[in-house]
Chains A and B, each alone.
Chain A
Amino acid sequence: MRNLYFVVLAVLFLAALLAILLRYSLRARRATDTTWNDLLQRLTWVDRDNIAMIALDVVTESGELRQEASRFALEPPAIWTLLGGLEGLEVLEHNCHVLVELASYIQRWHPEALVVAEQLRLNAREIEWHVGRLKGAAETGNLQSSFAAYAQRATVTYYMMTRHVLELYSQVGFPRLADLQQAL
């Protein structure tokens, strides 16, 4: 009887493993087969002027942190409006994954780009974490009070990521850099 339980559980276990394997193998295959045009098409449109405005409230054009007196001038409601609320932040979260894939795309021919792709991947995880915190706050009804702090950090991280991806493409002399500049 005990052996019968074992067989039933073991077969269910095997079936679950196979289902997971199939699902994630397809996802992994899709990621490897992606072309550069596919990646560009996956970028969701965001108002880059608004992103820059939120980011430049904290950092300078060169990416340095602003003097204490001149930063955090934007009020939380303005950040909410410029970004388009939590939905806008989710778009940034989606786009930052595409940015990581854009860096990984360069890595296919230039393995040296691995270090940048890995660092960008960690930045993307940071944005995911901020968005996760805000989703949690939305569920507990504390979104308004937490939004500005987390959203502005995520936006600055995203803004810097876009600049670094462009810099990476420019450094390796990618022929379609102009298309990327336009898309970002």
Chain B
Amino acid sequence: MNLSGFDRFLWAACLYGHIVLLAVLWIRRRASSFPVFTSYVIENIVKTSVLYFILSHFSQGAYYYSYWSLGVVDEALQIFVFYELAVHVFCPTGTWAPDVRKTFLGLVCASTLLALSLTLLAHPAAHRWVQTFFLRSNFFSAALLSELFIGTLVLSVTVGLPWKTHAAKIAQGLGAFSILCLAMDIVTTYVGISHNTRVFSELARLKNLTYLGCETYWIAMLWQEAPAPRELPEAMRLKIYTLQKQVEYDLMRIRAWRGN
């Protein structure tokens, strides 16, 4: 397979982008807060290196099978990243907010069902079954991630849970990328890759370019520190925790009344 100069640039830029992003996650000590996202970045570095090695030393067929297969792993990891971000939003005190758990589960089920229904309707033209599977799984993953990202935003705004700075930035990048991917995957799935691979190749380049923008955004945002908190004396901090217990106790007591 012959790669153009632009393809090589995109490939290298995405790889270096991931390496810089990983360095930012370690230097700014964000890796422990976002272990799945960090794993996703590492997986992308490994994937790009492995694919380049296969492309240089093995057959074109071996490259395509690795490309399609690793693409599925990539999509699965993106869904786990989304879950990690949802935990940051909906578990503000370390456990799931009780009024959100069921709704969130419903959101995941409904989103999966909707994305699956649309995917089953698609019949992309392709030579190999693995290509059909990849195109469909690409569309499914983009549709699901877009739904989950928007659903989480709607749920958090409705119940009044704020997005923590860095989780919000990762979600914004991933969400914007998923929505753009969804638009591109609609076209790719419709056109297919059996007769003409030009549309697929051009959109793949556009997708990589979009992802490069997303990486740059993550690097810039994750490098910045969240607004520094004001220090509270220990006694005041203790009072705040006592107040929280008091508010919790009040609610339980009011719930326990029997009417007049």
Contact = CB atoms under 8 A, between A and B. Distances in A.
Interface of A: 2-3, 5-7, 9-11, 13-14, 17-18, 20-21, 24-25, 27-28, 31-32, 58, 63, 65, 71-72, 97, 100-101, 104, 107-116, 118-126, 148-149, 152-153, 156-157, 160-161, 164, 167-168, 171-173
A155 to B, nearest CB: 10
B247 A160 contact: yes
A171 B239 contact: yes
B247 A164 contact: yes
B230 interface: yes
Interface of B: 92-93, 97-99, 114, 118, 121-124, 139, 143, 146-147, 150, 153-154, 156-157, 159-163, 179, 182-183, 186, 189-190, 227, 229-230, 232, 236-237, 239-241, 243-244, 246-248, 250-251, 253-255, 257, 259-260
B97 A122 contact: yes
A7 B186 contact: yes
Contacts of B179: 14, 17-18, 21
B78 to A, nearest CB: 17
A6 B123 CA distance: 8
Chain B at the A interface: SS class: helix
B186 A113 contact: no
B260 A72 contact: yes
A149 B257 CA distance: 10
B250 A160 contact: yes
Closest CB pairs A-B (n = 5): A72-B260, A149-B259, A115-B244, A119-B247, A6-B121
A157 B254 contact: yes
Nearest to B249: A63
A145 to B, nearest CB: 11
B247 A120 contact: yes
